[in-house]
Amino acid sequence: MRIILKTAVEQSHDQVFDQFDQSLFKALAPPFPPIKIERFDGKAIGDVVIVKLGLINQRWVSKITSVIQSEKESSFTDQGQELPFFLSKWVHHHRILAHEKGALIVDDITYQSPYKVLDYLLYPIMWAQFAYRKPIYRKWFGRKAN
């Protein structure tokens, strides 16, 4: 399954990319399920992020597998290495594109569960988890209409 959400903000793509750090990661975490950050290396290739999902006590380990920085785009990709029981695949491509007088943040997520029917059941939950980020991005980086 694939989810793509876009948010226009006022800061440049370079400024936005530079602020993708542990503070922003904490701010973007939805209230449910609660998470505990066990490790946050950053967004360079080979960096690792480990969180523990509260209530279900599951570890989620992602590794940064690619980084792109150009005049028009700054991006990085995290891939799930150890996932909670309800996921068998996770790839999150964080794209920050030059856009008018600011940037366009694109959350491009591909996931898979162990069962096709579960992929569809998870879709509205996954979509909501990332739609939750839109007002946070706008507050953090400045609001733009999109």
C-alpha distance across the termini of the chain, in Å: 24
67 Cβ contact partners less than 8 Å away, ≥ 6 residues apart = 43, 44, 45, 75, 76, 77
pLDDT in tens, 116-127: 999 999 999 999
145 pLDDT band (50/70/90 cuts)?
A: very low
What is the torsional sign of CA 81, 112, 35, 11?
Answer: positive
Look at residue 57 and tell me whether its pLDDT is greater than 90: no
Q: What is the mean pLDDT of residues 12-34?
A: 93
pLDDT > 90: what percent of the chain?
88
pLDDT > 70: what percent of the chain?
97
What angle (nearest 5°) sits at the alpha carbon of residue 94, between those of residues 50 and 129?
A: 65
**What class has domain 2-141?**
alpha beta
Look at residue 67 and tell me whether its pLDDT is greater than 90: yes
pLDDT in tens, 99-120: 988 999 999 999 999 999 999 9
Task: Write down the domain spans for the chain.
Answer: 2-141
pLDDT score, position 100: 85
65-74's contacts with Cβ under 8 Å and 24+ in sequence apart are: 67/43, 69/14, 69/17, 71/98, 72/13, 72/97, 72/98, 73/13, 73/97, 73/98, 74/13, 74/14, 74/16, 74/17
3-state helix/strand/coil string of 19-56: CCCHHHHHHHCCCCCCEEEEEECCCCCCCEEEEEECCC
pLDDT score, position 56: 81
Look at residue 146 and tell me whether its pLDDT is greater than 70: no
> Is 50:61 a contact under the CB 8 Å cutoff?
yes
pLDDT score, position 144: 53
Quote the pTM value.
0.93
54 pLDDT band (50/70/90 cuts)?
A: confident
Look at residue 52 and tell me whether its pLDDT is greater than 50: yes
